[in-house]
Amino acid sequence: MRNPRPLRMIPDRVFGQAFGRAMAVMLSGLALTLAGCGSAYQSTSIREGIVDGTKVRVIALTPETTLAANRQPYDPRALPEAFRATAGTHGSMARGLPAPAHLPEQRQGLPATRLPPAIQPGPYQIGVGDVVLLATKAPANSVAELSGLLAAQNNRQGYTVQDDGAIAIPDVGRVRIAGLTLEEAEAAVFQRLVERQMDPSFSLEVAEFNARKVPIGGAVANPGVAPVTLTPLTLDTALAAVGGIAAPDRDTAVIRIYRGGELYEIPVTAFLRTQSYQKLRLVDGDTVFVDSDYDLSRAEAYFSEQLALQGARGAAIASLGQEIDIRRAELEEQRQNFNARLELGAEKRDYVYLSGEVGKQGRWPLPFDQSATLADALFDQGGIAAKTGNPKQVYVLRGSPDPREFGALTAWHLDAGAAAGLMLATRFELRPNDVIFIAQQPVTKWDRVISQLTPSLITIPLDNLTSN
């Protein structure tokens, strides 16, 4: 019987070299084969020129080119007017609508204008605290006879209307004039002089208006009161009397007027551009508050304080609380309606799209009423993928706004690998349908190719590598 052939031992060094050469040949062959049949990993790339019929222009982002890109006209989508109105019977009163957490600083909507009804209070009525000036003839003498006017001026005396509504005139007595017009007060004084058998020659005028006034507070230069005089008091005159509006942001400020248990509102922007709002007539008992806050708490506190100072009863203050509660309920209903429509996709939105090596691919909604930047969208979606993304290859792809250039595409290229590039990202404004793309690191591409190739190596018999 023939002895079996002894096994041939292969040195480890020789085996390693052979395995390495075989592996290299195998990888090269498989890479060529897979690439030829389209199976190898294909990475999206951005290059200038004509690509698949589309003219691509790559522009590096610099401070100058960022300004040029931002000049493209764009009106951010506004909050729908229908959803600024409330469902209550008091008119459109909704303030802002809260943004979902992922939306960048959404500007809130202003309330619709709600004016108090037109009122004609009639002639001024003298009230408690007013000071009237009574001028009578001086005792007969040569000087007085020369000029009755001079004599009258020498006997001008001011009288304050007391709590009982009367003034006390020496030698005449108390004359009740509160609640009377100036003409009616003159008639009352005349009648009392005749009864006392005194010379009824006199003049009467209101020197100080203290009885009827409109308190004004909130975001004004000098909160205080504007007196109601013989001349009608208008809203612009009243605000001027306290130094004017001093709200830090007039675009979000609102003028609130509380009258007779009802709350009325005028946005400051509407007030400034509408003359009829400026000439709105105020009356005694009105309270004005310039509000720069979306919450009604400050306005409620101010109105309650003024009611208390005016001696209002508990019922009046309770009525104010009910009015504020109605407004808050309307605001809450509006917020819920708007949020429900957002969740159901019933509100039209503008989007940008994120692709490539970003933290989270998908579409990102542009905010209402203001622009968003590249940094807003990028970092809200997780930023650049730390392991695979190439911060030097960040692109914003934007189609031409000219419909005649449908096939034209601009790729704004940002190098975010430096601090200056990151700052430019906070200045570059996005437009609807922009596509944000981040290229992959070179090593990432090779790693992904290898990950596709290595499974096929597992099926290769080891004997094939060691034969011959």
DSSP assignment, residue 7? Answer: P
- Give the gyration radius of the chain's Cα atoms: 41
The whole-number pLDDT of residue 33 equals 53
| Amino acid identity for residue 271 in this structure | F
The whole-number pLDDT of residue 276 equals 92
- The per-residue DSSP string of 255-290 comes to EEEEETTEEEEEEHHHHHH-HHHHTPEE-TT-EEEE
**CATH 3.10.560.10, the chain: domain bounds:** 49-76+350-441, 82-121+213-343
| Interatomic CA distance for residues 276 and 283, integer angstroms | 16
The sign of the torsion formed by the CA atoms of 417, 423, 426, 431 equals: negative
**CATH 3.30.1950.10, the chain: domain bounds:** 131-208
Q: Cα–Cα distances in Å, from 221 out to 71, 153, 244?
A: 37, 39, 6
The whole-number pLDDT of residue 200 equals 80
The whole-number pLDDT of residue 343 equals 80
Q: Which CATH number fits domain 82-121+213-343: 1.20.120.1460, 3.20.20.70, 3.40.50.720, 3.10.560.10?
A: 3.10.560.10
Mean pLDDT in runs of 10 for the chain (468 residues)?
53 54 54 50 65 79 91 79 38 34 40 81 88 76 49 69 90 90 91 85 87 89 90 92 87 86 87 92 90 71 73 61 69 75 81 89 88 90 84 88 67 87 90 91 59 52 49
CATH number of 49-76+350-441: 3.10.560.10
Burial 77-111 (b: 16+ CB within 10 A, else e): eebeeebbbbebeeebbbbbbebeeebbebbbbbb
* Burial class of residue 232, CB neighbours in 10 A (0-12, 13-18, 19+): middle
Q: Which two tokens stand for residue 37?
A: 């049949």
- Residue pointed to by tokens 């096939």: 407
E strand intervals along 192-246: 202-208, 213-218, 224-227, 233-234
**Thinking of the domain 131-208, which architecture would CATH place it in?**
2-Layer Sandwich (3.30)
The whole-number pLDDT of residue 321 equals 66
The whole-number pLDDT of residue 382 equals 84
The model carries a pTM of: 0.48
Largest CA-CA distance found in the chain, in angstroms, rounded: 174
The H or E element spanning position 356 is strand 351-356
| Torsion angle of the four alpha carbons 248, 251, 252, 253, in this order, in degrees rounded to the nearest 10 | 70
DSSP lists the bridge partners of residue 290 as 218, 255
Instruction: Please count the residues of the chain.
Output: 468
**Long-range contacts from 157-162, C-beta under 8 angstroms, 24+ separation:** 157/133, 158/131, 158/132, 158/133, 158/134, 158/207, 158/208, 159/131, 159/132, 159/133, 159/134, 160/129, 160/130, 160/131, 161/126, 161/127, 161/128, 161/129, 161/130, 161/131, 161/132, 161/211, 162/128
Q: Which of 386, 387, 385, 369 is nearest to 437 (CA)?
A: 385
